[in-house]
Structure 1
Amino acid sequence: MRKRPTLKDIARATGVHPSTVSRALDASARSSLSEEVVERVREAARTLGYRPNRVAFSLRKQKTMTVGVMIPDITNMIFPPIVRGIESVMEAAGYASILVNTDSQPRREQRLVEILQERGVDGIIHTAVLRSDPGIVEAARQGLPVVTLNRRIEETNIPYVINDEEDGIRLVFDLLRRQGHRRIAHLAGPAELSTGRLRLNAFQAMVDAAGLGPGDTVITEAERFDEEEGRRCAAEIHARAPGTTAVLCANDRLALGAMSFFQSVGRSCPKDISITGFNDMPLLELIPPGLTTVRIQQFEAGAIAARLLLSLIERPDESVPQATILPVGLVERGTVAPPALA
């Protein structure tokens, strides 16, 4: 049986000390070495078929070099670029990511947090937290590095990376007003999520600032951020306020569901009703007439959250910003036009 290659074997093959080999193969320790030495050691390791003993490494460093990445819905297309952003940082630093899907179910989310802790992950990036989320708060209190992404937990000091929700709502609201819309509905996200609450608060503030009255606006609240809820809430808007000329939706999937409903009752978009989204998830431009929406940072947000988590793991004595709020932008496509009704 062939003997498993060791660090000493690589050292003999490259003419460097075993400790230099160890540093060259450790992404978090190789910065003091030249690129030439690192590449020579890595090439020798590949040639010899060397594989690090992660169990021994974990015992020595008290780290597993794994992190948990929690997402609420694996079918939501905004998450692949976010996960790619996370991995672009974590993989380069030598960490592997364990991806878990909560299905936006609190009990499942709590169990997955426990499973990740049992697996010994070195930290968690959580994109599925509720505004109040005692399970992950307790994990952080016990010392597990945690960063939340796209959402935040209220009344904690857990670092978070979110979008400028207020500015995003302002951008689409101002666009609708410039087009002449006054009877504007808001299809809000779930109230237990910070994204749903912050976007709703921003909409209400814009309504007040514009001087619109109670008869001009209607608000419905989705239970989930998906197309089915978009259709259900759009039907409620249609029944409660049939004169509505524009629907400002709290995310793109709700907007697509709303478009589907209004088309089913003979109201075309944007001729009969204008609809906007939020997030600018991939491939939207391919769905006629092209959804007007708010573009958030996706790959970049994942990378920023990963750098924060990496700092918490590797430099625990250094402070990191609690709040990182990312700028957003307006993407105008084909779902907004002046109102057909006076």
Structure 2
Amino acid sequence: MTSPSQRSTPSPASPAAVTIRDVAQAAGVHVSTVSRALDPNRRQLISAEVLKQVEAAARRLGYRPNRTASALRTGRSNFIGVLLPDITNSVFPPILEGIEASASARHYFMLIANVRDAANGKAVLERLLAQQVAGLIMATVTRDDPLVEFVTATGLPTVLVNRADDSGRLGAVVSDDRLAMKFAVDHLAQLGHTHIAHLAGPQLSPTGLGRRQGFEQALRDRDLPPGQIVECTAYSREAGRVAMQQLLSSAPRPQAVVCCNDLVALGAYDVMHAAGLRVPEDISITGHNDMPLVDLVAPPLTTVRLPHRELGWRAAEMMFDLILGKPGLASTVVLRPELVIRASTAARPA
């Protein structure tokens, strides 16, 4: 015979064993009400009072949604995909931070894919589709990118960030590259520089082309002679070194150089130092992006600051509007950059 002290008391159900029916019973509502209340896309259909009641019951029971089962049932998950061209580039952490802020407010999570080789883009995207992602944010698009047509055909809610699609088929959130180049050229012209060169980004990239065109237009607006332009093979320090070496090997030597991004500008610094030239005494240098620590290099870099976190946040907000089926055509949101003047630019010697 078992004594009372030997009898075991039933333990509460583990979170994995708690079902949506248990939550409904504890909250005193129908199962469908719980389903809507716990779905980020449908919770607005539930009154605040009932929503609070359901959430309290779910917390009390330790309920955890089965995301896999939900994805299989609905054909979507609470994951969004993000495609990056270079996860090591310091431009992208603040963009991801903005995306995450928007996603977490809706109880969504990011699946981040690094696509260094554009040829692998379709395979990576297919893997994300297999994960039933609810939407996609792409920072990888190139000019005439076949991936745009592919993702458009899938019907997956997709938004571009930091780069726009020339065809206008997908919405995008970008910074004003032409205005950024105007800021840089105007600043150098005001310092007395008349022979200004440009280390341009890859011309297959919409940002590379846009910044080059903005640079050329800014020179025309100032009635300055056409500047020397050298195209970089990538947005990297090494590519900046190669391009700057090419630029210095041709005559005449420029008085100032507008670089397509900060990493390229640092590559230009390397070549200048190796050649015994001084920044800005011999050549003024400007960058683009205002990435972390460029204020600590010698000399601190004059650059164009972009609102990276807002780029990511706005792109995610646009994508969630598409997920929710809000009406509206694909549009491009253009955010304003600002020039940050530091010690890498100076007045032309008399």
TM over 0.5, shorter chain: yes
Deviates more, 1:329-338 or 1:188-197: 329-338
Structure 1 position 205 matched with structure 2 position 214: no
1:323 maps to a residue whose letter is T
Structure 1 position 93 matched with structure 2 position 106: yes
Aligned equivalent of 1:298: 308
Q: Kindly report which structure 2 residues correspond to 1:4-43, keeping only aligned pairs within 5 A, or say none.
A: 4-33=17-46, 38-39=51-52, 41-43=54-56
Aligned equivalent of 2:184: 172
Structure 1 position 118 matched with structure 2 position 130: yes
SS of the equivalent of 2:188 reads helix
Q: Kindly report which structure 2 residues correspond to 1:227-266, keeping only aligned pairs within 5 A, or say none.
A: 227-241=237-251, 243-266=253-276
Aligned equivalent of 2:235: 225
Match 1:154 to one of 166, 186, 189:
166
The structural deviation recorded for 1:8 is 2.9
Aligned equivalent of 2:333: 324
SS of the equivalent of 2:137 reads strand
Aligned equivalent of 2:6: none
Deviates more, 1:267-276 or 1:226-235: 267-276
Q: What is the distance in 1 between the residues matched to 2:170 and 2:204? A: 17
Aligned equivalent of 1:132: 144
1:181 maps to a residue whose letter is H
Aligned equivalent of 1:338: 347
> Residue by residue, what CA displacement relative to the aligned partner does 1:63-90 show, whole Å, maximum 9, x if unpaired?
1222110011111111011011111112
Structure 1 position 49 matched with structure 2 position 62: yes
SS of the equivalent of 1:114 reads helix
The structural deviation recorded for 1:219 is 0.6
Percent of paired sites with the same residue: 39
Q: State TM-score, norm by structure 2.
A: 0.89
Q: Is the 8 A contact 2:135 2:158 kept in 1?
A: yes
Q: What is the distance in 2 between the residues matched to 1:86 and 1:290? A: 29
The structure having more radius of gyration, on CA atoms, is 2
The structural deviation recorded for 1:17 is 4.2
The structural deviation recorded for 1:37 is 5.0
The structural deviation recorded for 1:107 is 1.0
The structural deviation recorded for 1:131 is 0.9
2:216 maps to a residue whose letter is Q
Q: What is the distance in 2 between the residues matched to 1:40 and 1:277? A: 54
Deviates more, 1:64-73 or 1:148-157: 148-157
1:172 maps to a residue whose letter is A
Aligned equivalent of 2:88: 75
SS of the equivalent of 1:338 reads coil
Q: Which stretches of structure 1, 4 residues or longer, exceed 6 Å deviation after superposition?
A: none
Q: What is the distance in 1 between the residues matched to 2:52 and 2:345? A: 54
1:190 maps to a residue whose letter is P
The structural deviation recorded for 1:32 is 4.6
1:319 maps to a residue whose letter is G
The structural deviation recorded for 1:138 is 1.8
The structural deviation recorded for 1:284 is 2.2
Q: What is the distance in 2 between the residues matched to 1:31 and 1:123? A: 20
Change (3 A) 1:286 1:320: farther
2:195 maps to a residue whose letter is R
Q: What is the distance in 2 between the residues matched to 1:36 and 1:75? A: 45
SS of the equivalent of 2:225 reads coil
Change (3 A) 1:59 1:109: closer
CA RMSD of aligned residues (A): 2.1
Q: What is the distance in 1 between the residues matched to 2:198 and 2:210? A: 13
Q: What is the distance in 2 between the residues matched to 1:326 and 1:276? A: 20
> Residue by residue, what CA displacement relative to the aligned partner does 1:135-179 show, whole Å, maximum 9, x if unpaired?
232221231222111112222421111111111000010000000
Change (3 A) 1:261 1:39: farther
Structure 1 position 108 matched with structure 2 position 120: yes
SS of the equivalent of 1:284 reads coil
SS of the equivalent of 2:82 reads strand
Change (3 A) 1:20 1:120: closer
Deviates more, 1:137-146 or 1:55-64: 55-64
Change (3 A) 1:113 1:241: farther
> Residue by residue, what CA displacement relative to the aligned partner does 1:242-288 show, whole Å, maximum 9, x if unpaired?
52111100111111111121112111212221110111122322323
Q: Is the 8 A contact 1:188 1:196 kept in 2?
A: yes
SS of the equivalent of 1:107 reads helix
Q: What is the distance in 1 between the residues matched to 2:251 and 2:54? A: 69
Q: What is the distance in 2 between the residues matched to 1:150 and 1:80? A: 13
1:303 maps to a residue whose letter is W
Match 1:271 to one of 281, 285, 290:
281
Q: Is the 8 A contact 2:164 2:332 kept in 1?
A: no
The structural deviation recorded for 1:9 is 2.3
> Residue by residue, what CA displacement relative to the aligned partner does 1:221-250 show, whole Å, maximum 9, x if unpaired?
001001001111111111113521111001
Q: What is the distance in 2 between the residues matched to 1:20 and 1:96? A: 24
Deviates more, 1:93-102 or 1:117-126: 117-126
The structural deviation recorded for 1:59 is 3.5
